[in-house]
Amino acid sequence: MAEDSIYNKHLDVFLLWACRETGILEELLDGPVTAPDVAEGAGVTERAATVSLAALAEMGYVEESADGYEATAELDGFRPETDVLERGILPHRIDSLDHYMDLPELMETGEAPEHTEAGLRRYMAAMATIDDTTVRSIVTTAEHAHPRPERVLDVGGGPGKISEEFARRGADVTTLDIPPVVDLLESHHAEAGLDVVAGDARESLPEGFDLVVSARMILSFSPEELGAYFENAFDALEPGGTFMCTERVWDRSEIATNFAVHMLTVSPNGHMYTEAEYREALEAAGFVDTAVREVPDTPFQGIVGHKPD
């Protein structure tokens, strides 16, 4: 059996996408249901219902009992009652597939799909699945560039995992994100004890920090937006402060080009930057001793600059 057959690669995402679109998923979440129940409720053929349920069972998304098929915990991320940050990456992955289907149009127009409020929730849930090893490695790499930072600004902090790790290590952390994200995650950030500011990194940043960091944000910026962000990061720092953003650098990361295709479905302005382009942009903003370093055990690089004393 060919490993690279289309039905052997990401079939679960394709199938769950179709189940979400048809309403099969909704039927299952209200289960237990039989194949004829699903066929009737979702308006699909009985053949499609039978085959889909069998495949979902083999994939571990449903299990069969005497009363029919029931969703397993693997589908909890699709339940509206599941906490926003506990929904996992799967619902967002299905959105990504949806957006890939729009690629021909996105390629022609240069636009990107709008984030609906529900889509933003799914995006944040996906971002919250960043693993602890990656979070610790990003924070440790930043601390190598600037040991024991007292005041840290985490730009585009999203669910706040990286902010929380800096806080756990004793820093006074401010997390900044765009207003819809700050509103959506207000109670989560408050529970985590994070000091949160709404803003736009391309416009302005709060000041007075000795370390400014961001992770997985800048690939959505055009070169002009990147330049504006780097200038704002420079202004946000005290003299002697350090800036580090964590990304996939085009000529340093094996998956950068694939990710660039993914970014076509995320942002209208994104750009893949080389190490030289990052360092040039940092230096244009006033940073010195610029460097691009590996973030160990992650697919990321740290792009580092220092503000002179």
Please, what sign has the CA dihedral across residues 32, 35, 38, 41?
Answer: negative
Closest to ligand SAM by CB, 53 vs 263, is 263
Residue type for position 123: Y
Q: Does 161 interact with ligand SAM (rule: CB under 6 A)?
A: yes
Q: Does 216 interact with ligand SAM (rule: CB under 6 A)?
A: yes
Question: Which range binds ligand SAM by CB under 6 A, 51-59, 209-217, 253-261, 279-287?
Answer: 209-217
Q: Which of 41, 14, 15 is nearest to 27 (CA)?
A: 41
Q: Does 88 interact with ligand SAM (rule: CB under 6 A)?
A: no
Compute CA distances 54 → 159, 182, 188, 226, 264, whole Å.
Answer: 35, 41, 37, 48, 34
Map the footprint of ligand SAM across residues 89-128, applying CB under 6 A: 127
Closest to ligand SAM by CB, 44 vs 176, is 176
Question: Which range binds ligand SAM by CB under 6 A, 64-72, 139-147, 212-220, 293-301?
Answer: 212-220
Question: Which range binds ligand SAM by CB under 6 A, 2-10, 155-163, 256-264, 271-279?
Answer: 155-163
* DSSP letter assigned to residue 248: -
Q: Does 130 interact with ligand SAM (rule: CB under 6 A)?
A: yes
**CA 85 from centre of chain:** 12
Q: Does 158 interact with ligand SAM (rule: CB under 6 A)?
A: yes
| Count of residues of this chain found to bind ligand SAM when the rule CB under 6 A is applied | 19
For 182, the 3-state DSSP assignment is helix
Establish how many alpha carbons lie within 13 A of residue 119's alpha carbon, considering only the half-sphere containing its beta carbon.
11
Backbone angles phi, psi at 69, to 5 degrees: -100, 140
Angle at 17 between CA 257 and CA 85, to 5 degrees: 75
Closest to ligand SAM by CB, 72 vs 267, is 267
Which of residues 201, 212, 256, 295 is near ligand SAM by CB under 6 A? Answer: 201
What does the binding site for ligand SAM look like in residue numbers (CB under 6 A)?
127, 130, 155-158, 161-162, 176-178, 181, 200-202, 215-217, 220
